Structure 1
Amino acid sequence: WNAYAQVAGGEPRRLMPGVNDLRSLVDRAPSGSRGHVAVRIPYATKQGNLSVRSWLRAPHAETGEIEISGTAMTVRGRVYGTALADTGYVEAVRRDEKDAVRRAEITADGPEFSFTLPYGPLADRGAGPWDLWLRPVGESGPRVRLARLLDDVPDKKAIFTYPVVPCVTEEHGTLEAGPYYTLDNDLSVRVRETAAGKGAGA
């Protein structure tokens, strides 16, 4: 959303941000009792104007700490607006091939959860992005996109960066994989050719 000031008799003019105290946005933990999470983050555009990014997720799966170990990542998170069941899991869906799905079991403790996702099965399909979804109760329940929204960073992609690791495959050689946040602050995994591989194919 772009913020304007309407002056009587004049054209709307873009507002410039002053001092923004965003401390209340950091590490928020909404109750989720309303069944949704509403987020609004003010920020300055590249031109120095005031804008606001907003999301409304019902339910919502907030990601937190991400640990990289070997050729796998472990993600911790919290769900809002729904409950977790023993039948819940996370699924990675290849963006350009929706029937390519890999599951990861979750460990739940109340609304909090964690899961470990190996990169190998993703890399075996070749280069391409995979989007991550939480199925809180399994196939019979909602499908919730994993995202990081509850802080004061409007665009996570350039701020929250993670290392990539090499993955050796039989059909595609050595690829590299790692997590990243999309332009919508959703969590995905990128599988791509290595710099050496791109050079060899040039």
Structure 2
Amino acid sequence: SAAVRGYRAPAGSRRTGAPATVPPVGIGAATVDVVADGAGWLRFSTEGSGDGRHRWQFVLRHKPSDGNRRPDVPVRTSRTDLDNGGTRYTAALGPSALDELGDGRWQVTMRSARSKTVHMKAGIRDTRALIDARADLVGRPPTGPVTWNLPYAQPNGRLMLRTVLREEHVECATVELGDGAITLRGVLCGGRRIEPGALFVVSRRGPHGKNFTVPVEVLGRHAFRAHVPVRRVVDHRLERWEDWDWWLQPDPHDRRKVRVCHLLEDFPDVKGAYAYPSLPLTGDGISDLAVIHPARPVWVRPYCSASGAMAMNVVDR
């Protein structure tokens, strides 16, 4: 029977009454939602317990990689009382703030004169507008400084900003591997243009520095395509593991080089997201300083470093 099988008759209609009121959480347990738009603005929003005399405020705190921490940056914060006795805090950070923030990583915190600083938890991060912003930048590279402001969550769930402010850099658009070759396409952002005869440069890191150059295919005032000289790198390596950085020399008569980077995305881990395969090559040339001249392939793999700079490693396994 239905009773034996545990069936229960549908419940009757619920009584309607006043909606339940969810009590506010403390700032330490609150999460911050962030919306990025294509114009470079970030808008923050969070809800916490009643503000009272605390006067909580959004504050950006620098997390340096070299130990030199910059001053904290307060962000003008608006407060709205909620029906449940809590407070909604909102703030907006415009692109002009990057002149002060510079290039780096920042903790999104809230501070009160009556409490210690709280590194806020990340809530919803809407960065969809940055997808179109990157496409626009690659299609129409700016002739001035590049700014970028990306909110992201640390592995522990705390909210961070990755800020980019570059007077001049090359943004890598694509990297293709095949038939023993590596080809990249990039755009030059900044005040200079790519001149006829511009050079792509690979530079060996370490005490035995070495540069190899190849002419680029100029695709416009700011766009180019280049074939990485992997054969020359393999034939002239000195160690079983080497790293070679990628550069662009926009003017063959001006030796100033610009770093090739992959910085501008709607997610933080470009290094992990773009895991390129390795290209096998066999060396032809003899180097007096080579540790082992290979009878087996040497593997060449492009990669994006944690800082966003493009390079490749050359490994004799």
AA at the equivalent of 1:67: E
- Residues 42-61 of structure 1 show CA distances to partners (whole Å, capped at 9, x for unaligned) of 11001110011122222121
Aligned residue runs from structure 1 range 104-183, under 5 A? 104-110=214-220, 111-124=222-235, 125=237, 126=239, 127-140=241-254, 142-169=256-283, 170=286, 171-173=292-294, 174-183=297-306
AA at the equivalent of 1:130: W
- The percentage of aligned residue pairs carrying the same residue is 26
Which shifted more, 165-174 or 75-84? 165-174
Kindly indicate whether the alpha-carbon contact (under 8 Å) linking 2:170 and 2:248 is maintained by their aligned counterparts in 1.
yes
Shift of 1:136: 0.8
Which residue among 133, 136, 140 is the counterpart of 1:29?
A: 136
1:118 and 1:76 map into 2 onto residues whose CA distance is 14
Alignment match, 2:150: 41
Which residue among 164, 189, 200 is the counterpart of 2:312?
A: 189
1:86 and 1:97 map into 2 onto residues whose CA distance is 32
SS at match of 1:47: coil
Greater relative CO (CA pairs within 8 A, separation 6+): 1
Runs of 4+ displaced beyond 4 Å: none
2:256 and 2:267 map into 1 onto residues whose CA distance is 27
Consecutive unaligned residues in structure 2, runs of 5 or more: 1-105, 287-291
Kindly indicate whether the alpha-carbon contact (under 8 Å) linking 2:212 and 2:229 is maintained by their aligned counterparts in 1.
no
AA at the equivalent of 2:231: G
Which residue among 108, 117, 122 is the counterpart of 1:3?
A: 108
AA at the equivalent of 1:58: E
May I ask how many residue pairs the two structures share in their alignment? Answer: 193
Kindly indicate whether the alpha-carbon contact (under 8 Å) linking 1:66 and 1:73 is maintained by their aligned counterparts in 2.
yes
Kindly indicate whether the alpha-carbon contact (under 8 Å) linking 1:62 and 1:146 is maintained by their aligned counterparts in 2.
yes
AA at the equivalent of 2:111: Q
Alignment match, 2:123: 18
CA spacing shift, 1:141–1:119, aligned 2, 3 Å: closer
1:139 and 1:155 map into 2 onto residues whose CA distance is 36
1:139 and 1:150 map into 2 onto residues whose CA distance is 29
Pairwise CA RMSD: 1.7
- Residues 89-124 of structure 1 show CA distances to partners (whole Å, capped at 9, x for unaligned) of 110000114641111211112211110113121122
AA at the equivalent of 2:298: L
Kindly indicate whether the alpha-carbon contact (under 8 Å) linking 1:29 and 1:150 is maintained by their aligned counterparts in 2.
no
Q: TM-score, normalised by structure 1?
A: 0.88
Consecutive unaligned residues in structure 1, runs of 5 or more: 195-202
SS at match of 1:157: helix
AA at the equivalent of 1:116: H
Between structure 1 and structure 2, the one with the greater Rg is: 2
Q: TM-score, normalised by structure 2?
A: 0.58
Shift of 1:63: 0.4
2:260 and 2:194 map into 1 onto residues whose CA distance is 14
1:185 and 1:155 map into 2 onto residues whose CA distance is 9
